[in-house]
Amino acid sequence: QLQASGGGLVQAGDSLRLSCAASGRTFNRYDMGWFRQAPGKEREFVAAIKWSGGSTDYTDSVKGRFTISRDNAKNTVYLQMNSLKPEDTAVYYCAAGRVPAGRSRWEYEYWGQGTLVTVSS
């Protein structure tokens, strides 16, 4: 029901925009989040946006570089990633959680399949 896309192989300093398209149901009343999981590491919180789009939250390591946004009319959430670093390399997952959902993965009910982002130095 959530389809993440937009990943790829880029160089340090480049930008990517990830998309998460929902189908089968509307997620307009769900908080949405992006998480990532690097090889051998736990899945970690990256960014979240409230159902209204009025509030966002970011993990410290991406603040000022990443921007989460949503278009409820298109049932889609985006993650604009600028100034990418090798440490951003991971599989990125989008998720939807019933209000309120924040930084914990356990607050999210629906997950996309993940899209791989690889940043070379």
Instruction: Write down the pLDDT at residue 118.
Output: 98
Return per-residue pLDDT of the chain as tens, 121 residues.
Answer: 899 999 999 999 999 999 999 988 888 899 999 999 999 999 999 999 999 888 999 999 999 999 999 999 999 999 999 999 999 999 999 999 998 999 999 999 999 999 999 999 9
Instruction: Write down the pLDDT at residue 86.
Output: 97
Task: Give me the count of residues in the chain.
Answer: 121
DSSP letter string over 77-107?
Answer: EEEEE-S--GGG-EEEEEEEEESS--S-GGG
Residue pair 118/8 in contact (Cβ under 8 Å)? The answer is yes
Instruction: Write down the pLDDT at residue 99.
Output: 84
Q: Where are the beta strands (DSSP E) in 29-89?
A: 30-37, 44-49, 56-58, 66-71, 76-81
Measure the N-to-C terminal CA separation of the chain; round to a whole number of Å. 34
